[in-house]
Amino acid sequence: MTDQATTSPTTAPPAALGQTKPTVLIVGAGLAGLLLGLLLEKIKVPYHIYERAVEVRPLGSVMTLGANILPVFEQLGLLEELYKISLPLYSAYIYSTDMKQVGFLDGKGQKELTGYDMLAFSRPKLYDLMRKQVPVEKISMNKKVIRIEEVPSEDKIRIYCVDNSHYEGHILVGADGAYSGVRKSLYKQLDEKGVLPKEDLDNFKMAYVNLVGVADFKDRGNDQTNEKYPQLKDNFGTFAQILGHDNRSWGVRNVADKQICWSLSAQVAEPESQGLNINNAEWGPEANEAMIKQFENEPCPWGGKMGDLIEATPKNLISKVVLEDKLFKTWYHGRTVLIGDAAHKMLPGGAQGAINAMQDAVVLANSIFALTDLSFKNITAAFETYYHQRYSRAGGHVKRSSVMSQLMAGQTWTDRTIRHVMFNYIPEWIHQWSLSKTAEYRPQLAWLPLAPNRGKGNVSPQECVRKELEETAQAI
């Protein structure tokens, strides 16, 4: 292959002592893969991104980013751009179907505590912002990886795609989501050797099936729309969720540019959630009509019916997604390393899935930046550093995200009990303490000046090996 010079088999040089810039193959053009590509671009490390989708589609619903990742955007000079597409999320309400308030979370004090607002925006807008930071010629679409292969004699790793193309580099990063082709191939090889931990063979635990979309009212009659949804006039974001009588819940969030992100959720019973392996990780249009009919006549928390928001969303931009969680134990082997959902899948309740994926990219980029040569020993040490910093923290967020999902959308007796206790018996200072602890860990880039702590809360020390700015200036 000669179409991608930086990653073709004929151009990736053998690893050598003193050579510090590896050729990196990134599989997956999601948020984690794009951020890693952007960071490698900044430190002039050769890389290329391979994405299995044929084309980019603006799918997904609401997302939030907070103090544990926003300092990186500040370092990169992108924080102002992020604010342009965002609203600060100030409050979250949970209602019963008769619109009686069940719970409330207040986010107005986050900036004072952490130095940053919790920013809410539509996922397509963040993806578009990130995609613009990576040169278009460094992303190849329609490249589904089906096999990976170590080439020890040449100190390289090779990927094979379904279109019979193949590419080589010194490091392979699996950023290709929960149903990662890179992870599948790696685990198959490790399992055949009898060295894969048993828990890595277990299936995901499916918890919810969600239908999501973004209703756009920017070009509709503003007076009529503002009267129907006055939240669209607010300069802050609000989240409102209704818990149904059965296993269903549904919610809305206002974001910038007169958009309302909505979601319809059906909780999966515990016996059904075990042992399932539903490959529905793609954010793509599905046969959604049956699920829409179950929700379209339900009340919208802000008035009218949920069907009104569904009708204001292009049909091809409505996505069905299975929400699952799992923490994999094996994140790297040889010259292959996993990041994001390929390593740890989280439920959305804690709003930490995308944040943790981006933190992975930051820590891995720092580890690559610190390489002194491309020997197998040094690359393994870089992966170990990344794993040591990220594994336990990601595992903690997998657990917390599960609890928060129970709190916000769970419908079992246990879920309702947890929600009642959390909203009625837990003092506010404990909620603030929990928020502060989550925001303490905020890994930043090793080669740029640190963003200062402007909040009252503590910030954990940086664990990366930082270099003097003069040396960094020469390196990049």
Q: Pick the residue with more confidence: 173 or 353?
A: 173
Cβ-based burial of 236 (10 A; exposed 0-12, middle 13-18, buried ≥19): middle
Whether the CB-CB separation of 204 and 398 falls below 8 Å is answered with no
In a domain, 72, yes or no: no
Whether the CB-CB separation of 248 and 208 falls below 8 Å is answered with no
Q: Does residue 453 sit in the same domain as residue 366?
A: yes
Domain tally, the chain: 2
Q: Does residue 191 sit in the same domain as residue 215?
A: no
Q: Does residue 355 sit in the same domain as residue 285?
A: no
pLDDT (0 to 100) of residue 437: 80
Q: Does residue 403 sit in the same domain as residue 469?
A: yes
- What's 115's domain CATH number? 3.30.9.30
Q: Does residue 40 sit in the same domain as residue 150?
A: yes
Q: Does residue 471 sit in the same domain as residue 383?
A: yes
pLDDT (0 to 100) of residue 279: 47
Band (pLDDT 50/70/90 cuts) for residue 271 is: very low
pLDDT (0 to 100) of residue 400: 87
Q: Check whether 171 has a pLDDT greater than 90.
A: yes
Whether the CB-CB separation of 252 and 240 falls below 8 Å is answered with yes
Q: Does residue 178 sit in the same domain as residue 34?
A: yes
Boundary (domain end) residue, out of 270, 300, 324: 324
Q: Does residue 395 sit in the same domain as residue 270?
A: no
Q: Check whether 11 has a pLDDT greater than 60.
A: no
Lowest mean pLDDT of 157-161, 187-191, 337-341, 409-413, name the range.
409-413
Range of the domain at 91: 86-119+206-324
Boundary (domain end) residue, out of 324, 339, 358: 324
Phi, psi dihedral angles at 286 (to 5 degrees): -125, -175
- What's 367's domain CATH number? 3.50.50.60
Q: Does residue 143 sit in the same domain as residue 223?
A: no
Q: Does residue 340 sit in the same domain as residue 434?
A: yes
| pLDDT tens track for 112-139 | 889 999 999 998 999 999 999 999 999 9
Per the prediction, the chain carries an average pLDDT of 86
| pLDDT tens track for 308-355 | 999 999 888 888 888 888 999 999 999 999 999 999 999 887 778 899
Pairing status of strand 139-140 against strand 47-50: parallel
Read off the amino acid at residue 386.
Y
In a domain, 75, yes or no: no
Q: What does the alpha-carbon distance between residue 455 and residue 440 come to, in Å, rounded to a whole number?
A: 10
Q: Tell me which DSSP letter residue 314 carries.
A: -
Q: Check whether 282 has a pLDDT greater than 50.
A: no
Boundary (domain end) residue, out of 291, 324, 357: 324
Q: Does residue 111 sit in the same domain as residue 94?
A: yes
Q: Check whether 10 has a pLDDT greater than 60.
A: no
In a domain, 367, yes or no: yes
Q: Check whether 55 has a pLDDT greater than 70.
A: yes
Q: Does residue 312 sit in the same domain as residue 222?
A: yes
Mean pLDDT of 1-25: 55
